[in-house]
Amino acid sequence: MSEAAAAPVATRRIAPGPRGNLFTGNRAAYARDPIQMILDLQREYGDVARERVGPYLLHTVTHPDGVRQVLQGNYKNYVRGKFYENFKLFFGLGLLTTDGEYWLSHRRMAQPLFHRGIVEGCTESATDAVGRMLDRWQDASAGGESIELVAETMRVSLSILGRVVFNMDFSGYSDVISPSVLVGLKTMIPQRNLNDFIPHWVPTPYTRRLARAQRTLREAMQKVIAEHAVGGEGTIDLITLLQSGKDEETGRGLTDEEIHDEVMTVFMAGHETTGSGMAWTLYAIAQHPEVRRRLEAEVDDVLGDRAPTIEDLPRLAYARMVVDESLRLYPPIWAFTRDPVTDDEIGGYHIPAGSTIVLSPYATHRHRDFWENPEAFDPERFAPERAKSIAPFSYFPFGSGSRKCIGFHLALLQMQLLTAMVAQRFRVDAVPGHKVTYGRRMVALRPERGIRVTLQPRQG
């Protein structure tokens, strides 16, 4: 594949793909399992596959060169597009849903808080939150109880996010907002039924449930911002940056609504993706005793029985390899889209303006031309010498290019610390008979029925 960034489209070769139903295209396959559909498209039709889902023309691009072209080489030609309209129901006009100068101005205001040096300075806050979770686990393990990992990791991720990004304690919000966040995750992708066509102002059980979730989250964010106004003076956090920030060119500050939308974006996206990533990582370790043994040996050697510090992270190299491999197999966002503004060409195939490109970390991370035995969980792929041979854009769990997730440093820090601290204190075993599957109707790769595990203490 050639990058062909911004080059004139010389051919009109149409990419191969399934014909589908005359009226609905491949909507039925999408309804059954969209992730499997993407894997099937790559296997049957190659690195650029064309299909129609309902009224939409899609091209699924799984080759790293094509990913590079969309996210870097010709990125100015691509916008969030039509499939992000449902995201605005919850995120409003925030960093996740906007483009152009509006997005760039807001990104510049928020970026200082997510700088690697600032994030690493919050290590103690993260280890405190994880430590409190592990103390709760001690009681559960003593009673022989199983725990549900996803709920636990979502709670600890939210706690860390509150401390690091908002300088607030979010521990009281988890049980209130989690059901509403779940509604939002399901709403952000097409429902593949009549709900896709019913206006949101029409009162149906679905739209009423949606409205309740929106109201719950909006009220929670308003409370967060109000509490910050009382206790946040003199701190450096996201709300302070947004309230004091000015556009570099116009000098304009953000409105209350714009601040609300950015807080909502970081609040929802920040804890959901990291919480899911943590849960999948612990699940993968539980499935692979040899990985667990090596991880335990590392943390025993580096940490003993003390909490990790920022100076320990380079020495917890295997813990980071485990996290990287988990993000390869279980990327928190399994796919996302971009719409071309003008015609383009990817992999020799014509991409018409106004259509939609589907990029899937889940599929590209399993591309057999770039990953040996791709379904296996093998942290050694990310050992320093082997990692040098990983093809650019064959691994992008946080996106890439100018729109790479603003919080990826914070997510990696949390996941590495949690992985090491859990291995230090517990052996995690999956509950037999509890089937773990990804949710087929959510934008995030959240385990559909949770992950139930038992705990064996390693230390008193």
Per mean pLDDT, which range of 67-76, 89-98, 412-421 is the poorest? 89-98
Q: Which residues of 208-223 are buried (b: 16+ CB within 10 A; e: fewer)?
A: eebeebbebbeebbee
**pLDDT computed for residue 427 by the predictor:** 95
Kindly state the percentage of the chain with pLDDT values over 90: 59
The confidence score (pLDDT) of residue 46 equals 96
Distance CA 398, CA 406 (A): 9
pLDDT recorded at residue 154: 92
Kindly indicate the confidence band of residue 191, based on its pLDDT and cuts at 50, 70 and 90. low
| Domains, the chain, ordered by start | 1-82+333-396 (1.10.630.10), 93-328+401-460 (1.10.630.10)
* Mean pLDDT calculated for residue range 202-231: 84
What is the predicted pLDDT for the residue at 221?
A: 86
User: Is the confidence at residue 232, as pLDDT, over 60?
Assistant: no
pLDDT band per the 50, 70, 90 thresholds, residue 460: very low
The answer to whether 334 and 391 are in contact (CB under 8 A) is no
Lowest mean pLDDT among 39-48, 78-87, 420-429: 78-87
pLDDT of residue 173: 75
Residue 82 has, within 13 A of its CA and on its CB side, a CA count of 14
pLDDT at 447: 87
pLDDT at 415: 97
Query: Looking up tokens 């909490």, which residue turns up?
Result: 307
- Highest mean pLDDT range out of 79-93, 254-268, 332-346? 332-346
Q: What is the pLDDT of residues 104-150, one digit of tens each?
A: 999 999 988 888 888 888 899 999 999 999 999 998 888 888 999 99
Residue 345, pLDDT > 60, answer yes
Positive or negative, the Cα torsion across 299, 304, 305, 306?
negative
- Reported as a pLDDT band with limits 50, 70 and 90, residue 230 is low
Question: Which tens digit of pLDDT belongs to each residue from 287-335?
Answer: 999 999 999 999 999 999 999 999 999 999 999 999 999 999 999 999 9
Which one, of 140, 192, 150, lies nearest residue 28 by Cα? Answer: 192
Is the per-residue pLDDT at 172 higher than 70?
A: yes
Confidence band for 258, pLDDT divided at 50, 70 and 90: very high
Helix (H) or strand (E) holding 340: strand 336-340
How far is residue 85's CA from residue 83's CA, in Å, rounded to a whole number?
Answer: 6
- 4 or 27: which carries more pLDDT confidence? 27
Inform me whether the pLDDT recorded for 12 exceeds 60: yes
Is 243 within 8 Å of 414 (Cβ atoms)? no
pTM score > 0.85 for this model? yes
pLDDT of residue 326: 98
* 267, containing H or E segment: helix 256-287
Q: Whole-number mean pLDDT of the chain?
A: 89
Query: What pLDDT shows up at residue 7?
Result: 47
Distance of CA 287 to the CA centre of its chain: 22
